[in-house]
Structure 1
Amino acid sequence: MPNPVSSFLALILVACAVAAAPAAAQQQMPPKKVGVVELKRENVPRIVTLPGRAVAVQRVGIRPRVSGTVTEILYREGTTLEAGDPMFRIDDTTYQAALASAEADVSAATAAQSQARLAYERADRLVGQGLSQAELESRKADLERATAQLKAAEAALDVARAELGWTTVRSPIAGVASVATVSIGDLVSAAQADALATVIQLDPIDVDMYEPSTRILRVVDDIEAGLLDVHDTLSASLTLENGRSYDFEGELLSPGFTVSMSTGAVDRRFRFDNPDHLLLPGMFVRGSMEIGTMNAILVSQSAATRDRSGQLTAWVLEDGKAAQRKLVETGTYQNQWIVVEGVRAGDQLIVDGFQNLRVGMDVVPVAVEYDAAGVIREQSADAGSSQPPSQSE
């Protein structure tokens, strides 16, 4: 009969052997393969992306300068007008009469001045020959009074002509006209609050871009530290709301000199050509502004992660083992972090297979590269071809 104690000990030994088998197998697993790229320093454009909004260069509310009834609307809504194009006509009957009256007043004042001049000249010849000096001075005063009355009449004539001209309401700027807010027969008054229409200049058009003041201070720090070489002139490109790139670059009009108390941002204004009227006032856009270049290391965003505190980290190869580095970045360029601290030129950055890595873990590096589409591919011995990397173990 088998010994119970011996049987129990045998079962324990079998169980221990079974439990030790996976551990032994795990210890015998080969090091994990990881894809690495060699880091290098290069001159990188410093590009900032800013939210923006289109603003009309000029926007004018059309208001009458004289009172009267609208008799004609002389433009088509939505059409482009040149400066001076007629838009409305106001009944000019009373202004025609006022002009005729002013012309008559000028004629009468001219005749009075001529008569006063002749009287003065006659008195000047006869002074001392039966005409006293006092009478000469009186004739001179009459001439000056007549001259002043003529000037007043001519000024009134200029006003009458101007008011008659104002009965045709013209656009003061070139731009696109809105729908008229009045109809034929409506009574309008001089300097009324409500506009008859609006004319907006769309080409060129301005775009306000809003940059946080903290970012501006960061740029200043980089310049003072010698990290950033600023361009002499600044230009900007746009991305529209549908993701389409705008065809024209804009030039800086105003760098902004105040910080908004509500947003903490500085308003920078750029001007863009807009021949097709693709940009409209009030439209939101995304602007990209290249402010200079800096010598830095580019680290793919897919190869770096942030922890809960926001610290950016990446894995590198050190003596055949995985090591984690803390990175200091100063923006992005083409889906890559612009890194100024944390890695050095020549470091082997782990870009593939870094999931589940632990510090000090043995790894086997496989040289890889990014293709034009941003896909990681294993470097081939033949420089003219590349293959996808083998699956990491």
Structure 2
Amino acid sequence: MTHPRPPSRPGTKPVFLRAALLAAGLATATACALFLLPGKKSLAVSAAALPMVSVALPVQRTVIEWDDYVGRFEASRRVEVRPRVSGQIVGVHFKDGEIVQQGQLLFSIDPRPYQAAYAEAQAGLASATSELALARADLARAQRLVGDSAISKSDIDQLQARVRTGTANVAGAQARVALKSLELEFTEVRSPITGRVSDRRVDPGNLVMSGEAGNGTRLTTINALDPIYFTFDASEALYLKAIRAQEPNAAQTQVEVRLQDEPDYSWRGKLDFTDNGIDPRSGTIRMRAVIENPKLFLTPGLFGNMRLASGAGAPALLIPDSAVQIDQTRKTVLTVSAEGTVLVRAIELGPLVDGLRIVRAGLAADDRVIVGGQQHAIAGTKVQTKPEPAASQSGMGNSNPLISGGEPAFAS
């Protein structure tokens, strides 16, 4: 059963319509009130709607650019210890792997055969000396008889020849004594250099043989570690770059090396050798640096990364690597003008160090670079800015002026 709708009175409106009209009136009134507010409040409301970004000025620093190389450490001197006389080893006077000094006794060879040979040589020298003395005495007596014609000229010549022969025999005997003395001295095998000795290859009781050109018995090896060499192969392109950038005194080129477990380049030295030609098979040239190693920490065979200064220090601008953006083939950063407008700067980048990237071109020292909130910044729009202290950026507080080379690893 349906109930008839009561007739509406003329001039009345539904309740929902009246509510809608009321809301529209309030909105209109609010808009009018905001339009009529003083200018400062209107600007504050407009500014509150602008995005906030962090900005920082580029860091200005004198930097040295480096080229990176890979190489290994080598002993500055390496000696294979071999005996200079043959015989039986009767003593070993060092511990395997210890540091030995130049002239330190390492091995003893049985000296008795050489002592006997030395005594025999001394006896031969005494005999030759006695014969020479007799020859000289005979010549002196004969010369006194020459005036009385009691001796012929030929006899005088024979006596003089005996003196000369005796003199030669004495010289030969002296040489044999010196040789046997050396052989006796060589029974004590001493270290020719200061360095770290390897393990002994021969124990006491074994016979060892002397020889030339490495044919003798090898007793041990010694490596000189202070200073130590770092050898590496440089490509033709890096070699040309380094040579063109060097000062006239190329031997003073500075290098720095870091080991595999080290974050920083803590070992410093000088480039002291460049080979006399490029290997045509590999297109590289062998180079060497000398590094001080007073604590003997570095040892031959260690692998290391080295950087070579490619020029003198020069002023440069650096920004956080995170501020760099890639726009297809361009590298750009966002900056904020004095009026608060976001601008796009195309830049040319250099190497990276400690989170900072060298900017070679496209940026000025007074440009305010957006380092935070880039997602809210659109080119050509207005933004609010807050300064970002340089020291709070990654690496911006680092005063190290040495910049590593290599290809840039751009942030995306």
Q: Report if TM-score (shorter chain) is over 0.5.
A: yes
Residue matched to 2:344? 323
Change (3 A) 1:324 1:350: same
Residue matched to 1:207? 230
Residue matched to 1:386? none
> 2:185 pairs with 146, 160, 165, which one?
165
Q: How is 1:226-245 mapped onto 2 (pairs within 5 angstroms)?
A: 233-243=252-262
Distance 2:53 2:323 in 1: 12
> 1:195 pairs with 201, 212, 218, which one?
218
Contact kept in structure 1, 2:250 and 2:271, CA below 8 Å: no
SS in 1 for 2:96: coil
Change (3 A) 1:209 1:344: farther
The Cα of 1:145 is off from its aligned counterpart by: 1.0
Q: How is 1:74-153 mapped onto 2 (pairs within 5 angstroms)?
A: 74-128=93-147, 129-153=149-173
Paired amino acid for 1:190: S
Q: How is 1:233-272 mapped onto 2 (pairs within 5 angstroms)?
A: 233-243=252-262, 249-254=268-273, 258-259=277-278, 261=280, 262=282, 264=284, 267-272=287-292
Paired amino acid for 2:370: I
The Cα of 1:35 is off from its aligned counterpart by: 2.7
**Is the counterpart of residue 302 in structure 1 residue 302 in structure 2?**
no
Change (3 A) 1:184 1:63: same
Change (3 A) 1:258 1:372: farther
**Is the counterpart of residue 281 in structure 1 residue 307 in structure 2?**
no
SS in 1 for 2:135: helix
Residue by residue over 1:241-289, the C-alpha shift from the partner in whole angstroms, topping out at 9 and shown as x without a partner, is 21165766434434666545536355241221332x2111111233455
Change (3 A) 1:270 1:357: farther
Residue matched to 2:34? none
Contact kept in structure 2, 1:83 and 1:171, CA below 8 Å: yes
Paired amino acid for 1:239: R
> 1:351 pairs with 358, 371, 374, which one?
371
Contact kept in structure 2, 1:255 and 1:269, CA below 8 Å: no
Structure 1: runs of 5 or more not aligned: 1-28, 378-393
Distance 2:118 2:287 in 1: 50
The Cα of 1:61 is off from its aligned counterpart by: 0.8
Contact kept in structure 2, 1:205 and 1:272, CA below 8 Å: yes
The Cα of 1:200 is off from its aligned counterpart by: 1.7
Change (3 A) 1:91 1:233: closer
SS in 1 for 2:388: strand
Distance 1:266 1:130 in 2: 82
Distance 1:75 1:219 in 2: 45
Distance 1:143 1:222 in 2: 72
The Cα of 1:293 is off from its aligned counterpart by: 1.1
Residue by residue over 1:331-374, the C-alpha shift from the partner in whole angstroms, topping out at 9 and shown as x without a partner, is 3444322222222332232322335976x452515243255453
Residue matched to 2:203? 183
Distance 2:395 2:228 in 1: 42
Paired amino acid for 2:195: G
Paired amino acid for 1:201: A
**Is the counterpart of residue 37 in structure 1 residue 56 in structure 2?**
yes
Residue matched to 2:174? 154
Change (3 A) 1:219 1:150: closer
Residue matched to 2:16? none
Change (3 A) 1:105 1:363: farther
Distance 2:320 2:233 in 1: 27
Paired amino acid for 2:78: R
SS in 2 for 1:274: coil
- CA-based RMSD: 3.5
Change (3 A) 1:202 1:42: closer
Distance 1:181 1:122 in 2: 63
Paired amino acid for 1:208: T
The Cα of 1:219 is off from its aligned counterpart by: 5.8
Residue by residue over 1:74-98, the C-alpha shift from the partner in whole angstroms, topping out at 9 and shown as x without a partner, is 2221222111111111122321221
SS in 1 for 2:312: strand
TM-score normalised over the length of structure 1: 0.74
Change (3 A) 1:242 1:308: farther
% identity of equivalent residues: 27
Contact kept in structure 2, 1:315 and 1:325, CA below 8 Å: no
**Is the counterpart of residue 66 in structure 1 residue 85 in structure 2?**
yes
Paired amino acid for 2:168: A
Distance 2:160 2:258 in 1: 76
The Cα of 1:234 is off from its aligned counterpart by: 4.2
Distance 1:281 1:376 in 2: 34
Change (3 A) 1:75 1:44: closer
The range that moved more, 132-141 or 257-266, is 257-266
Change (3 A) 1:210 1:337: farther
Paired amino acid for 1:38: L
Structure 2: runs of 5 or more not aligned: 1-47, 397-412
